[in-house]
Amino acid sequence: MKTNELIQALVADRDTSETAMAPSLVGAVALGLAGSLLIYAATLAPRDLATAVLAPRFVFKLVVALLLAAAAAPLVNRMARPDGGAGTAWLALLAAPLLLCFGVLIEMAVVDPSAWRARLIGENAVACMLCIPLLSAPVLAVTLIALRRGAPTRPDLAGIFVGLLAGGLGAFLYASHCPDDSPLFVAAWYPPAIAAVAVAGRTIAVRLLRW
């Protein structure tokens, strides 16, 4: 069977494929997240959450990270199908950076300019850049492997979206540990770390998911 005939057959069966793929991806993300939690438990420790959740900046960075992961998850599911495409659904990915930008503006409005630089640099920039990719790696790996059960025709986009999903979850875990809560710090260091995961996802996917 030629490739285009196989694609047509898979598209014709898309209803069954779509129903079956979502639980598979959910299971893959859950399995990967379990691996991330093991790494988290072995290398980091959560802050005193009873106190931390009372701090708006702490809650804010968790929400931004989860919002990114939540926006990327449906896109991963769409790209698993041969007829899948991002369409306009990718616009949901803008919610997290827009919210973060809003947080930065609020921070700059309420914090004296003399403190901006210190809050931007923080004390854990290097740890942030290393830990987010590390914590994202299990979700990235397991989800990309699960996508091989589907038939993505745009492995490059699929890899990017998986990277954003994994990066968002990795950022969420790291954020629960990191004492640097300022939106200035989050805006400076979290996006490059998550972008590195997305680039890794694309690089791996174009090879792993090649037909």
Where do the structural domains in the chain lie, given as residue ranges? Answer: 3-208
- At 17 the pLDDT is 44
Note the pTM of the prediction, 2 decimals. 0.87
**What are the pLDDT digits (tens) for 129-151?**
999 999 999 999 999 999 888 77
- At 178 the pLDDT is 95
All residue ranges of the chain with pLDDT < 50 are: 1, 6-7, 9-21
Q: Which residue, 44, 98, 46, 34, is CA-closest to 67?
A: 98
How far is it, in rounded angstroms, from Cα 46 to Cα 39? 13
- At 19 the pLDDT is 41
- At 163 the pLDDT is 97
- At 46 the pLDDT is 86
How buried is 172 (Cβ within 10 angstroms: 0-12 exposed, 13-18 middle, 19+ buried)? buried
> Which residue in this structure is represented by tokens 């973060």?
100
